[in-house]
Amino acid sequence: MRRIGTALAAIMLAGGGLVAGTVPAVAAPAAAVDCGVSWGSLEKSGDADAGRRLTDVRAGQHECFDRLVFDGLGAGDAPIGFTVRYVDVLHQDPSDVVVPIRGGAILEISLFSPRYDPATGQPYPALPSVGVTGYRTFREFKVTGGSEGYTQAGLGVRARLPFRVFQTANHLVVDVAHTW
């Protein structure tokens, strides 16, 4: 009987060691991300290139902001001209019709890019719609109109938050921060 008790104790000790050996180490907590947003919410604008046309638009989510990217097609590295600003109501150009858009604040995005081929007068293919359901800051995006060599879009956002606009190669980027 004593042998069975000793054997059982040895097995339990060995088993306890195995169990202790399988306990995962506690992972260190992830470092908090410092977004360091200092962009502001005032109007932003950039130089125009009359030859650049828009070919695509897409949205993405990042840890500190939501991003909207417009792709341009044209000669060289000339920038896509733009004006981006918060408005109380989005008015479609040139009709001045009010465009309803979801969100606590509205960014009007005017891109100095024709919607029609200046040489032929034929319309370029329409920009695709961009779904932003589930985004932390974006609520709705619409291409709303344009005339006289530019395209207008509206971006409904959660609140009047800081934003920045910059260009890389053939892209115009609009980032809207999640918080101040």
The total number of residues shown for the chain amounts to 180
Structure tokens at 22: 């399988």
Q: What is the pLDDT of residues 36-86, one digit of tens each?
A: 899 999 999 997 655 578 899 999 999 999 999 999 886 666 788 899 999
Q: What is the pLDDT of residues 19-29, one digit of tens each?
A: 444 445 555 55
CATH for the 44-177 domain, from 3.40.50.720, 2.10.60.10, 3.30.479.30, 2.60.40.3500: 2.60.40.3500
Structure tokens at 124: 């370029």
Asked if 33 and 152 count as a contact pair (C-beta separation under 8 A), the reply is no
What's this model's pTM, rounded to 2 decimal places? 0.79
Question: What three-state secondary structure class fits 39?
Answer: coil
H helix or E strand, kind and range, residue 72? strand 65-73
Residue 13 has, within 13 A of its CA and on its CB side, a CA count of: 6
Asked if 165 and 127 count as a contact pair (C-beta separation under 8 A), the reply is no
Domain boundaries, the chain: 44-177
Structure tokens at 173: 């980027």
